[in-house]
A and B are shown apart, each in its own frame.
Chain A
């Protein structure tokens, strides 16, 4: 049995096997962090239009109360993470790039952890449209990192027919264990969330893809599934980037999403386990998304673990709570393969942030950073899960031939997974080159 399992273990071709660094946090139950005295709540924590504030400075808000409403369909509302007073609405630094209009909330000392806002919903009686609306009202966005509004992902455009909901439980980034813990500790909410998503999107069956380094999660879900549930758990090989949406669809269903296309086009809706578990928890209570599980780890962290962090908590407060060793560190939001580094501790945790990794200052790369010319070793070609030719793309980028990169070498199919940079023995910052090339091309097109 084990042997045949090995052969049948599903995976995509290429990819890499970075050290996973998950053992520090994978076995620790999720713990709650206290409220920071001052929280910073950016109005744009998602892909799409920024939310429109509903509150004024000086106003008192309850934990769970909406503080900003969605600006149209491609947007998401925001709820107060703690009971307190609105101090101000002003520009504040965020993880990605420029400053963003943010609500500053002063939490009341000793504010209760109880959510004081929300109206229970009888989920079973709602139609698909009503469910989508209810999901939007929770302010839910993809918790796996993309921050795409979840109700948009559940709304199938009328020209497409979908049949399968793919549930992404791979969590292939090193260090991150939030989805792992959620699958173990919130199994019932997850299954409830999957049932809701099936109905909201009009899909008939669901497949949960989980990497085989989380056998306990696979077991836990299988145990709780009822025979009549049209939900299957599929073990997939532990390999980066198994959790990439398009690759996972191909691995689980054998369907290939066309270049530049969306999963709808092959009849699939994809959501991440963390997102669906939150839907399963929030929707019946009619509450909004006000906190999320974040893996806080890395060699510089004294008490690594998975923490339930109120959205808007500044990194400085988190680091004070979990303790740290050095005076300076290299801070990464998200996982180390695709996450962004941050320069300011005032940056808050927002909806899409699944991890806070603190690496020691010098060892963000553990060997000297000397960049050599491309020696055409082909390692990057063997690593690229999209089967691009990063070596050639890199050489073109060095000569600023950005258009050729896009037209002849399919630059736009690169999803910046980082495999090529990870393996390159010449330490060429390939992904960075590709990002620059893409943004130059975008500007030229505009």
Chain B
């Protein structure tokens, strides 16, 4: 026998999983949510998702090439960004705007910072924030779930030409004969009309909203899969949900007719998707055990503050972006006590 000459340093054992395996599993966990969104909203969401993911992958490749780095598509992180971004967009969002969102997410949210591991913000939310500012009408145009013709035809605005005003969707909604449709998400209904949708519709995805934020139970189940496989930390989602519920609770107890219940707060809008899949983004969150809790609680708190007193019905996106920005600070104040050190 000859000893292998290339020397390795200890440890000589390594545990699975590696980054690409983790990322691939996150993709698997997102697929049921994507599938449900497609089932709910039809062809438009299918094509929108494909467009956004393709745009993210293309942008990632472009920046690999520009910066002379090796191909990083195989780490799957751009796919996750694409899927998450698509899930936060309204089903009727024009495809070309989806492509812009994907480009911004990767270019500004990730590549500018130096790629995977260096991004300060969650890239998908950077893309989403950009299109929220750039296309305020399209981003708040909602269409009904379970429209009868959803698998036969596109929602007209989907195929809008770049830089053209997308056609209004009202006529199309009328043809779908969904009488009860108000054109508003449950959060907007509460915020602007003071109506509270019943909890079961919220749990099970029977309301409208962004394509992937309407089924809280499915999102929880998919998150649980990842947490059980130890591919995602459970502390951040738990802390964020707790933070949101605790912030909402006193107001609801005090004035139940003005403020929604904690259950409504948890299961409406993007809170669940945000908590399980976006706030938990490892790169933009602290690594310290106590930091995880502080960070999650902070985001939950901010979400409710924005929802209750901000101008927008939804606050998850900005809450998470603010949490991302605070992450380095949280990490530095939550360093654990080191063995043998005094403090």
Distance in angstroms from B7 CB to nearest chain A CB is 5
Quick check: B341 and A381 within 8 Å, CB to CB? no
Chain B residue with the shortest CB-CB distance to A325 = B1
By the criterion of a CB under 8 Å from any partner CB, how many residues of chain B are at the interface? 44
Q: Which of B116, B335, B336 contacts A375 (CB 8 A)?
A: B116
State which of A72-80, A200-208, A229-237, A333-341 sits at the interface with chain B.
A333-341
Contact B10–A418 (Cβ < 8 Å): yes
Q: Is B288 an interface residue (CB 8 A)?
A: yes
With both chains docked as a complex, state the minimum distance between the C-beta of A92 and any C-beta of chain B, in angstroms. Answer: 15
Contact B340 A381, beta carbon cutoff 8 Å: no
- Does B289 interact with chain A (Cβ within 8 Å)? yes
Question: Of B1, B7, B22, B336, which is in contact with the most chain A CB atoms at under 10 Å from its CB?
Answer: B1
Interface stretch among B13-21, B196-204, B213-221? B13-21
- Closest residue to A368 on the B side, CB-wise? B18
Query: Per DSSP, are chain A's interface residues mostly helix, strand or loop, or mixed?
Result: loop
In the bound complex, CA of A345 to CA of B12 (Å): 19
A-B contact count (CB 8 A): 180
Distance in Å from the Cβ of A334 to the closest Cβ of chain B? 8
Nearest to A387 among chain B residues (CB) is: B336
Q: Check if B3 sits within 8 Å of A422, measured CB to CB.
A: no
**Given the contacts A372-B18, A378-B233, A336 and B11 also touching, CB distance less than 8 Å:** yes
- Restricting to A396-446, which residues have a CB under 8 Å from any CB of B? 410, 413, 416, 418, 421-423, 425-427, 429, 431-432, 435
CB distance from A282 to the nearest CB of B (A): 30
Measured CA separation A357–B10 after assembly (Å)? 12
CB-CB nearest in chain B for A377: B282
Residues of chain A within 8 A (CB-CB) of B292 are 378
Given known A-B contacts A373-B118, A374-B117, A365 and B9 have beta carbons under 8 A apart: no
Interface-centre pick from B4, B8, B289 (highest chain A CB count, 10 A): B4
* Complex-state Cα separation, A256 to B341, whole angstroms: 9
Given contacts A372-B75, A376-B117, A378-B288, contact A339 B339 (CB under 8 A): no
A321-367, CB < 8 A from B: 324, 326-332, 336-345, 357-359, 361, 364-367
Q: Tell me if B's interface is mostly helix, strand, loop or mixed.
A: loop
Tell me if B283 is interfacial: C-beta within 8 Å of chain A. yes
Question: Does A34 reach chain B (CB closer than 8 Å)?
Answer: no
Q: Which residues of A contact B4 (CB under 8 A)?
A: 328-331, 341, 343, 361
What is the CB-to-nearest-CB distance from A407 to chain B, in angstroms, rounded to a whole number? 13
In Å, the complex CA distance between A316 and B1 comes to 8
On whether the beta carbons of A258 and B117 are closer than 8 Å, the reply is no
A373 touches B289 (CB 8 A): no
Chain B residues with CB below 8 A from A110, complex form: none
**Complex CA–CA separation, A380 to B12 (angstroms):** 16
For the complex, what is the distance from the CA of A410 to the CA of B117, rounded to whole Å? 23
Chain A: minimal CB distance from B236 (Å)? 10
Assess whether A16 is interfacial by the CB under 8 Å rule.
Answer: yes
Does A370 have its Cβ within 8 Å of any Cβ on chain B? yes
**Is A259 at the interface (CB under 8 A from chain B)?**
yes
* Residues A432 and B283 in contact in the complex (CB < 8 Å), given A257-B340, A425-B22, A427-B18: no
A389 contacts partner chain B, Cβ-Cβ < 8 Å: yes
Q: How far is the CB of A313 from chain B (nearest CB, A)?
A: 15
Contact B9 A387 (CB under 8 A): no
Of B11, B21, B117, B289, which contacts A418 at CB under 8 A? B11
The residue on A at minimum CB distance from B2 is A328
Chain A residue numbers with a CB within 8 Å of B341 are 259, 410, 413
Select from chain B the residue with minimum beta-carbon distance to A174. B13
Cβ proximity bits A381-394 to B, threshold 8 Å, 1 near / 0 not: 11001111101100
- In this complex, which of B1, B3, B339 has the most chain A Cβ atoms within 10 angstroms of its Cβ? B339
* CB of B338 within 8 Å of the partner chain: yes
In the assembled complex, B166 has its CB within 8 A of some CB on chain A = no
Residues of chain A with a CB closer than 8 A to B283's CB: 375-376
Given contacts A328-B1, A372-B117, A375-B117, contact A246 B339 (CB under 8 A): yes
Chain B residues in 8 Å Cβ range of A410: 338, 341
A431 and B12 contacting across the interface, CB-CB below 8 Å: no
A372 touches B3 (CB 8 A): no
Is B287 located at the chain interface by the 8 A CB criterion?
A: yes
Contact of B8 among A329, A330, A378 (CB under 8 A): A330
Q: Does A261 contact B (CB under 8 A)?
A: yes
Q: Is the Cβ of A391 less than 8 Å from the Cβ of B287? A: yes
Residue of A whose beta carbon sits closest to that of B282: A377
Residues of chain B within 8 A (CB-CB) of A386 are 338-340
List residues of B (325-343) whose CB comes within 8 Å of A's CBs. Answer: 335-342
Whether A261 contacts B2 in the complex (CB less than 8 A), given A337-B11, A426-B19, comes out as: no
- Which chain B residues lie closer than 8 Å to A342 at the CB level? 3, 7
Closest residue on chain A to residue B9 by CB atoms: A432
Is A89 among interface residues, defined by CB-CB distance under 8 A?
A: no
Q: Please tell me if B285 contacts chain A, counting CB pairs below 8 Å.
A: yes
Cβ proximity bits B19-47 to A, threshold 8 Å, 1 near / 0 not = 11110000000000000000000000000
Minimum Cβ distance to chain A for residue B100 (Å): 27
Given the complex of chains A and B, what is the CA–CA distance between A357 and B292 in angstroms? 39
B5 at the interface (CB under 8 A from A): yes
Give Cα A357–Cα B12 distance, bound, in whole angstroms: 10
A391-B287, A421-B11, A423-B15 given; 6 more Cβ-contact pairs under 8 Å = A16-B15, A341-B8, A342-B7, A345-B3, A375-B116, A377-B22
